[in-house]
Structure 1
Amino acid sequence: MTKMTGAQAIVKSLRVNGVDTVFALPGGQLDFLFDAMYQEGDNIRLIHTRHEQGVAYMAYGYAKSTGKVGAYAVVPGPGLLNSAGALCTAWANYAPVLCISGQIPSTGIGKGYGDLHEIDDQLGMISHITKWAARIDHPTLAPEYVGEAFRQMSTGSPRPVEIEMAMDIMALEAEVELLPAQAAPVLPPLDEEQVQAAVELLRGAKKPLIYIGSGALEAGDEILRLAERLQAPVVAFRSAKGVVSSEHYLSANFPMGHRLWGEADVVLAIGTRLHWPLVMWGKDEDMSLIRVDIDPAQVTRICEPELGVVGDAARFAGALAQRLEHEGHQAASREQELSALKARVDAEIRDKVGPQMAYLDVIREELPRDGIFVDEVTQVGFVSWYGFPVYQPRQHISAGYQGTLGYGYATALGVMAGNMDKRVIQVSGDGGFMFNVQELSTAVQYQLPLVTVIFNDGRFTNVQRQQKEWFDGRVICSDLHNPDFVQLAESFGAAGYRANDPESLRAAIRQAFEQNGPAIIEVQIEEFFPAPWPFLMMPQNRKAVCK
């Protein structure tokens, strides 16, 4: 037992559980928390930003790219609410993000006195976009509650959690007993009957297909071993890209997956919501579906599978591969067939969205093989979901179904902070970049060598395209007035470069990589990029649709 403040009890409990980086923005209700982090010295790397949205997105990027907990701290009320968009993104993308929020004085909580930053039922409000949330009402409770936060993030589906502490409790001193680090979660046991049932379905399949999501990020070796045994192509959309390298003939991008889905007789879905295939492409009686997920709620979501398994992705896929190997099952190679299909789909993509692909090709060629790509809700970003190859898990970071415009720049700074030994390139549109433009200051202050490519066409392109197509060409509020992004970057102390075509972008990326700090590359786009939707909003290709 050691005498410490509530704030110190939180910080020391974070350290016990392995946290060495916290993204934070100071304010009155966090003064004692920041002082506690100061006292930790080099044990805590503290990165402060210029807006609470930036803090939370950086924690999200850190978590998604490293697999570790991304921790951030904000003041209560408007500070916490400013970070809510990033919490929604973390929720949608199964990211272990820990939000530490301040609170008004404990004597005023729930009283409606009008204390600074007070909102009614803050804990109840934030509970709707977190897996678990709790208020720590005494310093002695901090180790237990921090430990529970880590247990929640590591058990089942990893999702964001929130803890909060009133400012007077952060200042209160008490004898506190620190607890050991939260133990690794106990995985669900294998059900051998389910393993055998899955093996029988897959062994009898003529056109098996594996579809994976972010729940498969740590199961790449086992899934590839299984896929090679079955000669089953593996489809990944956004978060699971790289679980099987894009270079492998069994790796299938989203539009290739659509073709394969239409003829598949058994689909093994691992760690995925499977939303777009089931809702848009359909499922009928000619397809048997096996769903494997650590979250029981996902197994039967949208429609009832022929076999539903609550379990760990790596453990179950490994058990299937082992059983098939033991039985001597080896499907005939489909390399020639799948390589030809991959080439046809790639040619179609380049035919329809060639301008975006030309830029993505340059980025892929200049980004090292272990580099990380962060997209945005923008034309090049959309095409990257199916047109940008990656070779390892966590090399493509996305906002997922939340589609949070403007998430990209701050998220990429968090990716950079967590991967200082790698190169990181982020793409933005001119609209999305301006959502978190102030974080250029953070990038320069902490010398985060992120390279961001801004495609500047002076409009919210998606919005304007739809306005023109849906409303007889009437355009409103979708044209943008932008700064000179190169001069803007330089005014913050970052490097700025211009490009106007793929080859000049290549030269700019090389220049950006030669210097040590953050860089902005502005690419001026005069005309609309072709619509990316033909390879995303693909038609139903089964007889029925699950809804």
Structure 2
Amino acid sequence: MSERMTGGEALVRSVLAHGVDTVFGLPGGQTYGLFDALAQYERPVQVINSRHEQGAAYMALGYAASTGRPGVFSVVPGPGVLNAGSALVTAYATNSRVLCLAGQVPSQHIDRGWGMLHEIHDQLGILQRLTKWAERIASGADAPARVAEAFRQLHTGRALPVALEMAPDVMEGDCDVTLLEPASSYETSTPDPDAVKKAARILGSARNPIIIAGPGALDAGAELKRVAEMLEAPAAANFNAKGVIDERHYLGINLPAAHALWGDADAVLAVGTRFTEPELEWGLDDRLPVVRLEADDSAFDRGRAPTVALCADAGAGLSHLADALESVNRKRESRKKELLGLKRRFGKEFARNNAPQVAVLEVVREELPEDGFLVDEVTQMAYTSWFAFPSYRARHYISSNFQGNLGYGYPTALGVQAAHRDRKVVAFAGDGGFLYAGAEMATAKRHGLNVVVIVFSNDAYGNVRRDQAQRYSGRVFASGLTNPDFKAMAESFGLEAWRARTPEELRKALREALEADAPGLIEMPVSEMPSPWPYILLPRVR
């Protein structure tokens, strides 16, 4: 049965019917109709208005990355969409289900070049290149079907961002709309049975198999653990999938440990990963068969063709593989003693070679509850955390993966907190990156987003400065910074703030900040740190 409503109402009611409980954004002239529909919606919706479109989009990213559910944000067209672009490409890099609801110029003027407010040419084409799928909703009557397809795209195949755009005349105009019931489930792709049997024979006969997992495996931790235990295979997650296997489990290892084992591996299972480091840096040879499990087969077109390609959802593919292994898996001795020894050795090495960072990371790990979240940043402390901060649960360590975009961390952490009001969230930031989005402290205060951000300040883009000094005979240029008093700045926004100069001072400040149950900032002045890159850019071993 159809109902009379505005296009904005049709869009909002269709989106929220899919279980969405939070929308991030800030209203502007071309999205008034959407925000008015949110204001009139029959049940309360958490609407978090940010101070910048980039912040809103990163908050949606944090919501999605920490839950696996769609994170939704709305921005005005043109500059609003472009401001959100860095978050969309980060959602693409991290396999995050983010939905962008973008405004447009009036329908009759789209792509006509009249210079309408916020007009850019081919905005839809731009969105289509930044996302998995994007469409225009040309009339309110089309909204339910377009929204249903957006959510189908979000929940099938590779998890990636999508976008919808709607013009303001459509948002505010009345029409007859037939709302649709949301899908109760989505199709799950399963692997080819013959390919599964071949993969099982390869992995089942291997003496030293190894597993490499990426963000495509984040929601398949139980299935991954089952296969790893059957094979006695150490499983290394890249930094965007940390915790997919609890790193306290003897089979849950970091990438430096996997690299140490790479030369002796005789079979590889790669799940939901671009497989960049092993293939491009560590090396492959004809003696190393590779089984790859990916949600879409385009991943198999990069680099060397896998020995066996399994195209399926990670959970379904791993379950089928485990079942097939039952009849062909060889007996192996437990590798527990060996792998725990390897992990201890690397732990001691990290503490020796990256002592300042490790001392801080140990404090954060000890003070952050097991169910708490850590959001990294483009900063020396975060780089070290990729390999030296143990993660216990999937989706509890959030990273920007290969995008590495400065300033993403704090607003992303606010999105994590919005999704988990009852959990503790800590964000890392450098002094360079924090000021990209420092104004979002106002958002944290207004909406009670109780993130504790630790700002490591050294008056420089530290990584840039080190690179310049090492590559250009000691010359450094344009990498120094003039900073505010971050503690005073946070207090001016109404946040509680501390300054800590040592790990023990940090422990006291962090404990107080987490107990305060309020937005907080800890400034930690630091000097130049030992480089973490020897444990990230690892050499070829085969």
TM-score normalised according to structure 1 size: 0.97
**Structure 1 partner of 2:282:** 281
Q: Distance in 2 between matches of 1:432 and 1:308?
A: 40
- Measure, in 2, the Cα distance between the counterparts of 1:99 and 1:435: 21
The answer to whether the 8 Å contact 2:201/2:329 transfers is no
Query: What's 2:536 paired with?
Result: 536
Q: Contact (CA 8 Å) 1:300, 1:308: kept in 2 or not?
A: no
Match in the other structure for 1:492: 493
Which residue does the alignment assign to 1:115? 116
Q: 2:216 matched to 1:215? A: yes
Residue 315 of structure 1 and its aligned partner are, at CA, apart by 1.7
CA contact (8 A) 2:137 2:165 kept: yes
Q: Which residue of 2 aligns with 1:99?
A: 100
Structure 1's unaligned 5+ residue stretches are: 543-547
TM value normalised by structure 2: 0.98
Which SS does the other structure have where 1:100 is aligned?
Answer: strand
Query: When the two structures are aligned, how many residues end up with a matched partner?
Result: 541
Tell me how far 1:327 sits from its aligned partner.
5.2
Q: Distance in 2 between matches of 1:347 and 1:286?
A: 32
Give the equivalent residue in structure 2 for 1:450: 451
> What is the match of residue 413 of structure 1?
414
**Cα offsets for 1:316-370 (capped at 9, x unmatched):** 2222223333557442101111111111111111111111010000000000001
CA contact (8 A) 2:372 2:425 kept: yes
Q: Which amino acid aligns with 2:173?
A: L
Tell me, in whole angstroms, the C-alpha distance in 2 between the residues paired with 1:190 and 1:157: 14
**Aligned amino acid, residue 413 of structure 1:** L
Q: Deviations over 1:466-525 (max 9, x none)?
A: 111111221211111111111101100011001001110000011111213100000011
Partner of 1:336: 337
**Structure 1 letter corresponding to 2:232:** Q
2-structure distance, mates of 1:524, 1:42: 46
Instruction: Give a deviation string over 1:39-59, Cα, whole Å, max 9, x none.
Output: 015432100000000000000
AA matched with 2:531:
A
The one-letter amino acid paired with 1:248 is: H
CA distance in 2, matches of 1:112, 1:314: 48
Letter of the aligned partner of 1:13 in structure 2? S
User: Residue deviations 1:181-224, cap 9 Å, x none?
Assistant: 13422122342222211111112111100111111111111111
SS of 2:326's partner is helix
Matches within 5 A, 1:154-303: 154-303=155-304
The answer for the alignment partner of 2:478 in structure 1 is 477
- In structure 2, the residue matched to 1:468 is 469
Match of 2:12, SS state, is helix
Partners of 1:237 and 1:386 within 8 A in 2:
no
> 4+ residue runs of structure 1 moved beyond 6 angstroms?
none
Shift in CA distance, 537/101, structure 1 to aligned 2, threshold 3 Å = same
Amino acid at match of 1:19: V
Letter in 2 for 1:272: T
Corresponding residue for 1:373? 374
Counterparts of 1:483 and 1:42 in 2: how far apart (Å)?
42
1:125 aligns with 126
The question of whether the paired residues in 2 share the 8 Å contact of 1:299 and 1:309 is answered with no
The AA in structure 1 aligned to 2:250 is Y
- Long gaps (5+) in structure 2: none
Instruction: Say if 2:410 and 2:453, in contact at 8 Å, map to a contact too.
Output: yes
Q: In 2, Cα distance between the equivalents of 1:45 and 1:316?
A: 36
Q: Give CA deviations for 1:448-468 in whole Å, capped at 9, x if unaligned.
A: 110000000110001111111
| Counterpart amino acid of residue 536 in structure 2 | L
Using the alignment, how far apart are the partners of 1:400 and 1:364 within structure 2?
21
Contact preservation (8 Å) 2:376, 2:428: yes
**Deviation of the 1:7 alpha carbon:** 0.2
Q: Distance in 2 between matches of 1:120 and 1:192?
A: 47
Whole-Å Cα distance in 1 between the matches of residues 472 and 346 of structure 2?
Answer: 32
User: Is the contact between residue 454 and residue 521 of structure 1 (CA under 8 Å) also seen in structure 2?
Assistant: yes
Deviations 1:113-167 (A, max 9, x none): 1110111111112211111111111100000101111111111011111101110
1:532 shift after superposition: 0.6
Q: Distance in 1 between matches of 2:451 and 2:436?
A: 17
In the alignment, residue 531 of structure 1 is paired with which amino acid?
S
SS in 1 for 2:226: helix
* One-letter amino acid of the counterpart of residue 380, structure 1: M
Residue identity opposite 2:304 in structure 1: C
Alignment of 1:309-388 (within 5 A): 309-326=310-327, 329-388=330-389
Greater shift after overlay, 183-192 or 464-473?
Answer: 183-192
1:39 aligned residue: 40
What letter corresponds to residue 537 of structure 2 in structure 1?
M
Q: Distance in 2 between matches of 1:495 and 1:181?
A: 43
* Percent pairwise identity: 46
Aligned equivalent of 1:545:
none
Secondary structure at 1:318 match in 2: helix
Retained in 2: the 8 A contact 1:299–1:310?
no
Q: How far did residue 14 of structure 1 move? A: 0.8
Deviations 1:33-75 (A, max 9, x none): 1110000154321000000000000000000001110000000
Root mean square deviation of aligned Cα: 1.1
Alpha-carbon offset, residue 263 of structure 1 = 1.3
Question: What is the alpha-carbon distance in structure 1 between the residues aligned to residue 42 and residue 320 of structure 2?
Answer: 46
Distance 1:327 1:89 in 2: 40
SS of aligned partner of 2:219? coil
SS of match in other structure, 1:211: strand
